[in-house]
Amino acid sequence: MSSFEVIGGKKLKGEIVPQGAKNEALQIISAVLLTDEKVTVRNIPDIIDVNLLIELLQEMNVKVERPQRDTCIFQADDVNVDYLLSETFQKKSGRLRGSVMLAGPMLARFKKAFIPKPGGDKIGRRRLDTHILSFQKLGAKFDYDTEDGFFHLEAPKLKGTFMLLDEPSVTGTANVVMAAVLAEGTTTIYNAACEPYIQQLCKMLNHMGANISGVGSNMLKIQGVEKLHGTEHHMLPDMIEIGSFIGLAAMTQSDIIIKNVNHENLGIIPEKFQQLGIKMNIENDDIHVPEQDLYEISTYLDGGTLTVYDHPWPGFTPDLLSIVLVVATQAKGSVLIHQKMFESRLFFVDKLIEMGARIILCDPHRAAVIGLERKFPLRGITMTSPDIRAGVSLLIAALSAEGKSVIQNIDQIDRGYQYIDTRLQQLGAEIRRV
Ligand SMILES: CC(=O)N[C@H]1[C@@H](OP(=O)(O)OP(=O)(O)OC[C@H]2O[C@@H](n3ccc(=O)[nH]c3=O)[C@H](O)[C@@H]2O)O[C@H](CO)[C@@H](O)[C@@H]1O
Ligand SMILES: C=C(OP(=O)(O)O)C(=O)O
């Protein structure tokens, strides 16, 4: 498995264009199964997880043309449903979380679906209850086979109903929406996830002939239709990549312009980085992070220590907490990072501590960071990337550190960041894939 070799301590300069959004792509590409007509998807990121999902569709007999690297034309007019029971599907889909979202469209269009234990980051328990129980409310029957580890779902007919989700699961909401668009009657989903990627999915489905209202809120109303048709869809820039680049710029004292960020869909993300004291200018639709000697973490109005915690949209995404944490290590001031959703996502801090950061891991969910105020640089070390976002956080730490670092297991980073080494080289970074 490849590694990144990084010589840190260099200031970077230049422009960087964010890739299309990974987590939007996984929803949108699953949705192409809902019609037998052609669906053109643009701004697709060239990353392991998305390419694997496209490969799964191809193996299900979906026709895929790729006229450009970031554009695919899908046509699901001859789907092999039984492929989903094969060992290859079980193995491959176990490598990414997004494969779980094939179930909603399969149930809606082909009346059955099989969900093997999905993959994705090993960042804590990742239950599927919201998905399965919501399908059940629409009339699907399920069976969990302890031998093959598959959920087997069947629904001769899906019927709309009211449902209150037990949590606003992102992939869970996407899955139920995709099942409900072809169900009979009206489905109301309350406590739905409402982040921009779900909004994008709903907009695309409406363009295909679906009837979804309440888009952007936590109450979606879906009037089922008989058939969906083809469409064209353009994906948003990846907000997690944008947040990662803001953090990278601040930590390495660089001057970076992040192009075409689609600011109106970033929610609270820029503000959270500003609370760390990071200056940024919004210029047209770009974010310019200027070189800054020191950034100072703000306190609450009463002088209390800042806490940065995750919360479903429009709260702060859990996927950027590792980045906030690493950036705080060189700030002036202190911050408590509280990762509420996942219980195994903060363990990577032991590597940062080894590099010289001052962090107290209070428990699996909370870490207190005491900023070094740039009095001491981090030291380069050899480390392994445990998950996608921790991996990029370690990469940012390595780029700011004195000396050489080696980051192993970089497949974790390649799962979600397109050509990250060459794009960073263009900003002046010393990074090599070995
Ligand atoms: C492919 C994809 O799109 N993956 C994203 C998706 O995963 P995914 O859809 O798997 O995540 P879910 O939204 O289902 O929930 C993530 C975890 O948070 C817990 N939870 C969720 C909501 C809540 O209010 N309280 C709570 O504790 C859940 O129990 C679960 O353990 O959403 C996550 C949460 O934004 C992101 O980290 C993932 O990058
Ligand atoms: C947790 C993430 O991805 P996945 O859900 O695909 O594991 C992520 O994108 O940060």
Inter-CA distances, 187 with 162, 176, 202, 224, 425, Å: 6, 9, 14, 8, 49
Bridge-partner residues for 234, per DSSP? 42
Residue 94 banded pLDDT, cuts 50, 70, 90? confident
Residue 93 banded pLDDT, cuts 50, 70, 90? confident
- pLDDT for residue 121 is more than 80: no
Q: Do domains 4-19+237-433 and 22-234 have the same CATH topology?
A: yes
Which residues surround ligand 2 with Cβ inside 6 Å?
22-23, 49, 97-98, 120-121, 319, 388-389, 416
Q: Strand 382-384's sheet: what is its strand order?
A: 382-384, 404-408, 4-7, 430-433
Count of Cβ atoms closer than 10 Å to residue 143 Cβ? 9
pLDDT by residue (tens digit) across 326-344?
999 999 999 999 999 999 9
State in Å: Cα 341 to ligand 1 middle.
7
State in Å: Cα 416 to ligand 2 middle.
8
State yes or no: 204 annotated in a binding site: no
pLDDT by residue (tens digit) across 22-52?
999 999 999 999 999 999 999 999 999 999 9
State yes or no: 374 annotated in a binding site: no
Q: Quick one: tokens of 100? A: 């779980």
Mean pLDDT score of the chain: 95
Question: Using CA atoms, how far apart are residues 111 and 179, in angstroms rounded to an integer?
Answer: 10
State in Å: Cα 121 to ligand 2 middle.
6
Q: How high is the pLDDT of residue 118?
A: 66
Q: Which atom of ligand 2 is nearest to the CA of 97?
A: 6
State in Å: Cα 388 to ligand 2 middle.
7
State in Å: Cα 168 to ligand 1 middle.
8
Q: Quick one: tokens of 286? A: 């770009």
What ipTM was estimated for this complex?
0.98
For ligand 2, atom 1, which residue shows the shortest CA distance? Answer: 121
Residue 319 banded pLDDT, cuts 50, 70, 90? very high
Distance of CA 266 to the CA centre of its chain: 13
> Is the minimum distance from the CB of 126 to ligand 1 under 6 angstroms?
yes
Q: Which atom of ligand 1 is nearest to the CA of 120?
A: 1
For ligand 2, atom 10, which residue shows the shortest CA distance? Answer: 319
Taking the alpha carbons at both ends of the chain, their separation in whole angstroms is 9
pLDDT by residue (tens digit) across 183-216?
999 999 999 999 999 999 999 999 999 999 999 9
- 141-145 and 150-154 as β-strands: parallel, antiparallel, unpaired? antiparallel
CA Rg, the chain, in Å? 22
Residues 6+ apart with CB under 8 A from 229: 35, 37, 208, 209
234: nearest Cα among 212, 260, 257 = 260
* 121 tagged catalytic: yes
Weakest mean pLDDT among 64-73, 103-112, 114-123, 168-177: 114-123
Q: How high is the pLDDT of residue 277?
A: 98
State yes or no: 351 annotated in a binding site: no
Question: Using CA atoms, how far apart are residues 311 and 335, in angstroms rounded to an integer?
Answer: 17
Pocket test for ligand 2, best of 97, 101, 122, 411 (most atoms within 8 A of CB): 97
pLDDT by residue (tens digit) across 125-167?
788 899 999 999 999 999 988 877 788 899 999 999 999 999 9
Q: Quick one: tokens of 80? A: 């092999």
Q: How high is the pLDDT of residue 268?
A: 98
Residue 117 banded pLDDT, cuts 50, 70, 90? confident
Q: How high is the pLDDT of residue 125?
A: 76
pLDDT by residue (tens digit) across 211-258?
999 999 999 999 999 999 999 999 999 999 999 999 999 999 999 999
CATH number for region 4-19+237-433 = 3.65.10.10
> Is the minimum distance from the CB of 18 to ligand 1 under 6 angstroms?
no
- pLDDT for residue 263 is more than 70: yes
Residue 58 banded pLDDT, cuts 50, 70, 90? very high
- pLDDT for residue 120 is more than 80: no
Q: Which atom of ligand 2 is nearest to the CA of 123?
A: 1
Distance of CA 270 to the CA centre of its chain: 17
Q: Quick one: tokens of 399? A: 């780029």
- pLDDT for residue 123 is more than 80: no
Pocket test for ligand 1, best of 93, 170, 175, 415 (most atoms within 8 A of CB): 170
Domain ranges for the chain, please list them. 4-19+237-433, 22-234
> Is the minimum distance from the CB of 329 to ligand 1 under 6 angstroms?
no
**What mean pLDDT comes out for the span 168-186?**
98
> Is the minimum distance from the CB of 99 to ligand 1 under 6 angstroms?
no
State in Å: Cα 434 to ligand 2 middle.
25
- pLDDT for residue 371 is more than 80: yes
State yes or no: 319 annotated in a binding site: yes
287: nearest Cα among 296, 274, 297, 275 = 274
Q: Which atom of ligand 1 is nearest to the CA of 101?
A: 1
State in Å: Cα 299 to ligand 2 middle.
30
- pLDDT for residue 347 is more than 70: yes
The CATH superfamily holding the domain 22-234 is: Enolpyruvate transferase domain (3.65.10.10)
Q: Which residue has the higher pLDDT, 299 or 95?
A: 299
Catalytic position from the list 121, 238, 310, 414:
121
Pocket test for ligand 2, best of 19, 195, 319, 348 (most atoms within 8 A of CB): 319
State yes or no: 22 annotated in a binding site: yes
Residues 6+ apart with CB under 8 A from 370: 334, 358, 359, 360
Q: How high is the pLDDT of residue 278?
A: 98
Q: How high is the pLDDT of residue 119?
A: 65
